[in-house]
Structure 1
Amino acid sequence: RVLVTKGKDSGKIGTIAEVQPDTGFVRMQDLRKADFYVPEYVRKENNDSRAIQPQSMPVPWDHLKLVFPLRDQTTGHFEDVVLDKVDLRNAGWVERKNGHREYIQGQRFLPGVKTPLPWPKTEEKDKPEGHDDDTLRITVDEATHRPYLLQPPMPPSVIDELRNKYSIFRTRHEPAYIAAKEAQDRAAKHKENLARLVSTPLAELKELRRQERLANPPELSEEQLARIGEVMAQEKQNAINNLSQQ
């Protein structure tokens, strides 16, 4: 049981019906209810003719305080006490020998007191019944596949499903695909060689002129050599002038 400290029904004590650990909210049995309109088709399915029905609203954890019966040292009777703080001890995740992790609920204590506060009783979950056709745990844990370096870790068809069979990023291909690509490259090379052997009259004329230029390189005349010398002398003088100005 808990005490509502904020919002609607503040100051009232109620029982928690549902805990939502993922959201940090709870739902209470008799408190924090709101009226909702229920459509007709839902009423027919639930066999309830009421158009307006109350439903429990989620309550944040920080709006509640634990109510626990403690024995009065004077009278010896149990009285409900609102606990402002509770210590949680020996709780946390524990790793088992089989590698699985399990959360230990731990125990609740009042601050400075060694007497534990028992957890509320919960209904034990029904264990599933075993049948003759169930797989044994020892069979489930048995290692039936051991990969080797000389064998692929999976069938080639599965590799094709994981990566495109003809992807440019793929480093392993089937022998038939490699042979086809090599034949395609040889055909392209042969076609290029044929293009070099078969030439047109215009191509032959261009090749003849190229050979003539290589055999008879052009010679510079005296005037051209003199002009080149003048330009070189002028550039040299300009460079000297620039250095002297700096």
Structure 2
Amino acid sequence: MQKVIRRTILAEKQAIRRNASRSEKRKRDALKNTLEQQGFHRGQEIKDIKAARVARREDWELGPLAPKRDAGANKLTYGTIHTMRTKGPVLSERQQKERSKYVGEKYKTVVVGDRVVITEGRDTGKIGQVVEMDHERGECKVDGLNMMDVRIPDYMLASEQEQDKRPIRSMEQPVPYSWIRLVIQLRNSETGLLEDVICEKVETTKPYYEKRPNGTKAVCSRFITMPDSSRIYIDYPGRSEKARKERKAEEEEKYKDTPSDTLRMEVEQKSFVPTLLRPPMPSSVIDELRNKYSIFRTRHDAEYIEKKLKEDEEKNEKKKLVAKMRTPIKEINRLEKKMKKAKGKGKLTEEMLERIGKVIAEKRNLQLDLAAKIAGEPAVVTA
């Protein structure tokens, strides 16, 4: 019987070790996958930043001769990003906990359907509605804000399930939880009108249980504390997709473009395309196209040359004036030098020479006494 008991205990220990090993392997695989995603995401971001820097440098150096980048092979994909950058990398548990402070750790203070304001990025100060929240990545999508152009891979376009065949699509880029603040509408006591108010700190009550058709569920409510210590409770919004689409259609109808509008893409479009079939424009024409005071100009107007010569003369006059200026310290030094010069060089009298000779003899006697003591001989005195 003892043998059976030992075998059972051994089997249990082996099962525990196997489960621990599998658990560790799952954690390592998850961490490896997360690091790969973060590395790829960061690599794509660095690649786009470097390409943008090179393009900006070329545009600045070439000026009107800068190449048209949204042409040729890049006609459809210029200015877009990779699909892997539509979402941020998965965060660690510590990072998730840090970001969840802004939307509530256990009971959320910001949920899908809430109106929020963006506090950082290019859409700072704009208000939109939260349409999606990703707690693993600590970010959310705000309807119509922080838009980006994404290039869709060919294999996704070739799929039969994909109905949309556009190679480029505009979508909301998620923003971190730390970039958003809840916005509610409160009635102004003076004007009686509803105004948007940004909630810096939203709190939640203790959960209570509520009976629902699918069973009992723990719920809680959220509130903000006013300066007079009173509470204003905030209702959670409905998460109806139909209501969201209706609001989006209303906004599109409100801001619909008309034939009389000038589109931004038409204004920023580059009309000059350089070619190798003919030589570039003459330097005189390029000078005329450049800014009047450009550092690259080789031919300047007479008035510009005269202006520069006048500036040089003014600088030289200022330098001369600074050299002539005397500070109090300079004036004192000048007076001291003048007094020393007026006194002239001093002359040594017989008495002074005699005193100097005595001092030299005393020092010499001291040195001889010291040398005699070291050698053990009688001291020698000189007159």
TM-score norm. by structure 1 comes to 0.42
TM-score norm. by structure 2 comes to 0.28
Between Structure 1 and Structure 2, the one with more strand by share is: 1
Higher relative contact order structure (alpha carbons within 8 Å, sequence separation ≥ 6):
2
Which protein has the larger Cα radius of gyration, Structure 1 or Structure 2?
1
